[in-house]
Amino acid sequence: MSARAEGGRAPDARARRLDRRVYLRSHPALFALLSATRHRPLVRLGGTVLVHGPRAYREVLTRVPLDRTAEHTTGGAAARLTEGGLLFDQDGAAHREARRALAERLGGPGVARLRPLWQRVLERRLAELPGPLDLVPVVRELAGVTAAALTGSPADPSALARAAAEAAFAAAGEHLPSLLPRRRDAAAATGRLTALLPDPLDAMVAVAAVNTTVAALPRAAAWCARAGRWPEVSPELAVELLRLTAPTPILPRVAAADATVAGCPVRRGDRLVLVARHAAEAHRAVPEHPAAAAQAVFGAGPHACPGAALARAQLTDFLAALAPHRPRVLKARVDRRSALPGYALLLVGKG
Ligand code: HEM
């Protein structure tokens, strides 16, 4: 693949370079290792297997039995956050039942009910444009309002979003492979969240929804501004920007049984680092497998993200509300205290 095909048109190449900094700076050693090894679908490093290829990624999520409560996995972190038995760490009939309950809240009618709430936040907060305006607190409020409505919580939306972010950051030290330091304040951060959301399922949904949204929306807006794509804003552009930024770049999992993936053996107990960013072909301007790449951002199989439609609708509305102002990025600072790569500050304005 040519450098042009990888980077795309020149303004997109610049937007990609700057977005890549967010991703690399959050966990430099881990992400540099992943970038260096991405040309092989599977790379074994002792008991750890890096899974880069789109086919291999899908195979693991749909065919390989996974130990959903193992340490250093999303399910394991969720189990400790919520005392277990909630979606990420569930399997079989109990998991299907939990998904059905959530589908009612996150399906088409659920999204239609929530939409006016986040649109009101956008209308009020973006009235400050042409700015300068920091988009991070705007998205935090939008995510908090959505999470509060989803869970029926009376908590202040921005406080709820902050508590969900801190609990996720504290858990991330345990959840990502051991290249990252462990957090000692995990219990306190979880306590602050459960004080606001006593129901463990509510707490888990808030963590899943808030952290992805707060990471994804500002990165997509920054890309749009830097690449001059405001005139193109549409639901399709939202899907493309989610693929290009891949907000949850890796999914840490553990194999529960021996299996073969992309022709290579995987052993029970192997730590699997599923690189969603590479399965989504985020490094390519034009993906080779567009449908699979767009889905990879949200996982695959029985645990695939149930909030995908909500996330796409929020990003579409966020970009559409910004587009008439055609804001430029005036200043950006990467967040070093977030579970997912994102901004602590994204100041936009006329420039
Ligand atoms: C850009 C935004 C988002 C991204 C990139 C994202 C990505 C993901 C990914 C990769 C997974 C794991 C899938 C797998 O294991 O196959 C997941 C699971 C999940 N997500 Fe999302 N997500 C986003 C937004 C949301 C929102 C807004 C909600 C809720 C309102 C949500 C709720 C969940 C839940 C509950 C799960 C666990 C599902 C299960 O284990 O059965 N997500 N998400």
pLDDT in tens, 32-68: 889 889 999 999 999 999 999 999 999 999 999 999 8
**Which residue has 């029926």 as its token pair?**
152
Q: How far is the CA of 327 from the centre of ligand 1 (A)?
A: 29
What is the average pLDDT score of the chain? 90
Question: What is the predicted pLDDT for the residue at 8?
Answer: 64
Tokens 């907060």, residue?
125
Q: How buried is 133 (Cβ within 10 angstroms: 0-12 exposed, 13-18 middle, 19+ buried)?
A: buried
Taking residues 282-310, report their average pLDDT: 95
> With pLDDT > 90 as the criterion, what percentage of the chain qualifies?
70
The tokens describing 216, both together, are: 């994804």
- Is the separation of the CB atoms in 115 and 213 below 8 Å? no
Q: Are 97 and 85 in contact (CB under 8 A)?
A: no
pLDDT of residue 176: 56
102 or 9: which leads in pLDDT: 102
Q: Whose CA is nearest to atom 7 of ligand 1?
A: 298
The domain that holds 317 is classified in CATH as 1.10.630.10
Query: In terms of residue numbers, what domain contains 26?
Result: 3-349
Please give the pLDDT value at position 3: 40
Q: Which of 95, 210, 295, 305 to mutate to test the pocket of ligand 1 (most atoms within 8 A of CB)?
A: 305
pLDDT band at 184 (very low <50, low <70, confident <90, very high): low
Query: Pocket around ligand 1: residues whose beta carbon is below 6 Å from it?
Result: 61, 87-88, 99, 106, 150, 205, 208-209, 212-213, 216, 242, 247-248, 251, 276, 297-301, 303-307, 310-311
Q: How far is CA 16 from the centre of its chain?
A: 17
Q: What's the pLDDT at 180?
A: 47
The residue among 306, 274, 277, 307 whose CA lies nearest residue 66 is 274
Summarize the confidence of residues 286-306 as an average pLDDT: 95
String of b and e for 158-193 (b: at least 16 CB within 10 Å)? bebbbbbbbbbbbbbbbbbbeebeebeebeebbebb
CA-nearest residue for atom 3, ligand 1, is 212
Residue 84's pLDDT is: 64
Q: What is the domain count for the chain? A: 1
CA-106 nearest atom, ligand 1: 30
pLDDT for residue 293 is more than 50: yes
The residues near 97 (Cβ < 8 Å, ≥ 6 apart) are none
What distance in Å separates the CA atoms of residue 222 and residue 334, rounded to the nearest whole number? Answer: 12
- Cα 211 to ligand 1 centre (Å): 10
Confidence of residue 226 (pLDDT cuts 50, 70, 90): very high
> Confidence band (pLDDT; 50, 70, 90) for 73?
confident
Q: What is the pLDDT of residues 128-168, one digit of tens each?
A: 999 899 999 999 999 999 999 999 999 999 999 999 999 88
Ligand 1 center to 13 CA (angstroms) = 28
Residue 27 has pLDDT above 80, yes or no: no
Contact 253, 32 (CB under 8 A): no
